[in-house]
Amino acid sequence: MWDRKKREEAVPPHPRKEPRLEGPLTLERIREVFRDCADFSVREVERPGGSGEKLVLCSIMGMVKLERVSDYILRPLAQDDALRQLDNRAAYRRMAEGALYNLLVTERTTVDQVAYDLVSGWCILFCPGESTALSLFVATEDKRAVGPPVNETVLKGARDGFVESLRTNTSLVRRHIKAPELKIREQIVGRQSLTSVDIVWLDGIADPETVAEVERRMARIDIDAVLSSGNLEEYLVDDVATAFPLIQYTERPDRFCGGLAEGRVGILVDGLPFGYLAPGTVSSFLRAGQDKSNNWLLASVLTLLRYLCVLVTLLLPALYIAMATFHQEMIPTRLALSMIAAKQDVPFQTVFEVLIMLIAFEILQEAGLRLPQSIGQTVSIIGGLVVGQAAVEAKIVSPAVLIAVAIAGIAGYTMPSQEMAGALRMWRFLLAVLASAAGLFGVVGGAALLVYHLAKIESFGVPYLAPFAGGAGLGGTARAVVRAPLPWQKLRERTLKTPNRRKQR
């Protein structure tokens, strides 16, 4: 503890300088701020009237749309006869009040404001004799077109997916939820990236305390840049000492809006093509986006199948190790004789066989993800066939081990959330090691440890095991596993603490 404190004291402080850029708001100061920036552009324009005075237009090339600059700013300056007859002060006021064909015009008074506007796609107009400047929004709209989500298969539902543009994402949400109760509050996170982050919720449905807590945690984030999902997630969750995801994310606007309608709070980040939903619970990570689109009987059977697959992917390798090593009497006689015959020439113990195949399975999966898509699928298929068949023929592993590991691995792929699947894979290794040490007692102890770990976790004040825990009752637990017909679902989840629980008549 003392060494850690000493290391922290050796780290230099991280002061926040306010204001970020000092000095008077002048063209020379802005030139100094953007010195050595090849994309910084300055255009001098003669003021109408023949007085010879120059207006100066500053912008960042690539961030502004040149056609807008020409049509909304330069054209009115050249064609407005009324501007020719006014002095500098009156002409400045007229441009600020609508002489320029721009929807958004703001008067700026500090260097900080002007610098942020420039890098956000605004252009700045300096007028002679004025201590302030006009900021005009002419940002380019170059972005990836809205298309179907890549990682979430859509069988029956909307095929629009989030993109990297924050305003496009908020417009997609507005198209699905047109109610004026939809609130969007924005914060800027990251000293260097200045990333816009929007907190989205339905007023009167989302818990106000959850909304306030999300805002507080967002305001406490003081880092240099928010460029990836991890830069935000690990600062928002209640507990980082867990492999299980505590905030749900989705690429589908319809699923995002469904979470808002349930009473959750959404988070959209500029530059990330997905949205977050908080709080996150185990049941929410085991629901697929198609559950409400399918027939309720089919959706219930598939949900039950997912819960069964959770048990299979977690316990099957560990149970095989425990029974083959310590509890052979649990295996039917003919099956036990077949397993013994297949294992006679294998030099490794059962636990090493299972761990070898589990590690090989993880390596093949990682290779398939990191390689280009056309190559990754081929590597996964060929690697699985070649490695598995070669390992059996070389007597490195027995066929029963290969079957058990393959079934456990395939069962893990049924998880709608890949982060949840990754956490289950980590605990699968731990349970296998415990089974090799203490047999079924180790499996039971490991399962109890897992339940204890999950019971300690909360997500924005909601128990992670809700509705199985947290006072939801038997009805809430049943609704998490069996999806009742939608006309029967009159109330929202009690654990989300929504002010208005009724969602239909």
57 contacts 134 by C-beta, under 8 angstroms: no
The string of pLDDT tens digits covering residues 464-488 is 988 887 666 666 677 778 888 888 8
The string of pLDDT tens digits covering residues 136-188 is 998 887 778 888 888 887 777 788 899 988 989 999 999 999 999 999 999 99
Name the residue with higher pLDDT: 322 or 76. Answer: 322
Domain boundary among 118, 137, 156: 137
- How far is Cα 261 from Cα 263, in angstroms, rounded to an integer? 5
One-letter amino acid of 152: E
Residue range of the domain that includes 223:
166-278
Is 104 strand, coil or helix?
Answer: coil
Q: Are residues 321 and 191 in the same domain?
A: no
Q: Are residues 435 and 315 in the same domain?
A: yes
| CB count in 10 Å sphere of residue 98 | 10
- Least trusted range by pLDDT, from 10-24, 263-277, 310-324, 430-444: 10-24
The string of pLDDT tens digits covering residues 370-396 is 777 666 666 666 666 667 777 777 778
312 contacts 408 by C-beta, under 8 angstroms: yes
pLDDT value at residue 440: 93
Q: Are residues 320 and 435 in the same domain?
A: yes
Q: Are residues 439 and 302 in the same domain?
A: yes
Is 283 strand, coil or helix?
Answer: helix
φ, ψ at 123 (rounded to 5°): -115, 150
Q: Are residues 254 and 377 in the same domain?
A: no
One-letter amino acid of 89: R
Placement of tokens 């003081």 in the chain: 222
- How far is Cα 352 from Cα 365, in angstroms, rounded to an integer? 20
**What are the tokens at 99?**
């002489």
Q: Are residues 330 and 184 in the same domain?
A: no
pLDDT value at residue 186: 93
Q: Residue 152 domain-assigned?
A: no
184 contacts 170 by C-beta, under 8 angstroms: yes
Q: Are residues 257 and 308 in the same domain?
A: no
pLDDT at 337 over 70: yes
pLDDT value at residue 441: 94
Q: How many residues does the chain have?
A: 505
Q: Are residues 306 and 260 in the same domain?
A: no
- Give CA 153 to chain center in angstroms: 17
Q: Are residues 452 and 406 in the same domain?
A: yes
Exposure of 77 in the CB half-sphere (CA atoms within 13 A): 21
DSSP character for 491? Answer: B
Q: Residue 270 domain-assigned?
A: yes
| CB count in 10 Å sphere of residue 420 | 21
Q: Are residues 82 and 204 in the same domain?
A: no
Mean pLDDT in residue range 53-80: 86
pLDDT value at residue 449: 95
- How far is Cα 123 from Cα 281, in angstroms, rounded to an integer? 45
Q: Are residues 311 and 434 in the same domain?
A: yes
pTM of the model: 0.86
Domains held by the chain: number: 3
Closest CA to 190 of 14, 375, 448: 14
The string of pLDDT tens digits covering residues 359-374 is 888 888 887 777 776 6
Q: Residue 14 domain-assigned?
A: no
Percent helix, strand and coil across the chain, each to the nearest 5 = 50, 15, 35
- How far is Cα 125 from Cα 107, in angstroms, rounded to an integer? 10
Q: Provide the pLDDT confidence category of residue 208 given band limits of 50, 70 and 90.
A: very high
Q: Residue 408 domain-assigned?
A: yes
pLDDT value at residue 319: 93
- How far is Cα 479 from Cα 496, in angstroms, rounded to an integer? 14
Domain boundary among 252, 278, 304: 278
Mean pLDDT comparison of 46-50, 69-73, 99-103, 194-198, highest-scoring range: 194-198
Is 422 strand, coil or helix?
Answer: helix
pLDDT at 342 over 50: yes
- How far is Cα 34 from Cα 39, in angstroms, rounded to an integer? 9
| Strand bridging mode 133-137 / 195-202 | unpaired
**DSSP characters over 154-214:** -SSS------S-HHHHHHHHHHH---TTEEEEEEEE-TTT-EEEEEEEETTTS-HHHHHHH
Mean pLDDT in residue range 287-307: 87
- Angle (CA) 424 481 315, round 5°: 30
| CB count in 10 Å sphere of residue 259 | 22
Mean pLDDT in residue range 226-253: 89
- Least trusted range by pLDDT, from 86-90, 146-150, 310-314: 86-90
pLDDT at 1 over 60: no
Is 258 strand, coil or helix?
Answer: helix
Domain boundary among 228, 246, 278: 278
pLDDT value at residue 390: 75
Q: Are residues 386 and 308 in the same domain?
A: yes
- Least trusted range by pLDDT, from 67-81, 281-295, 381-395: 381-395
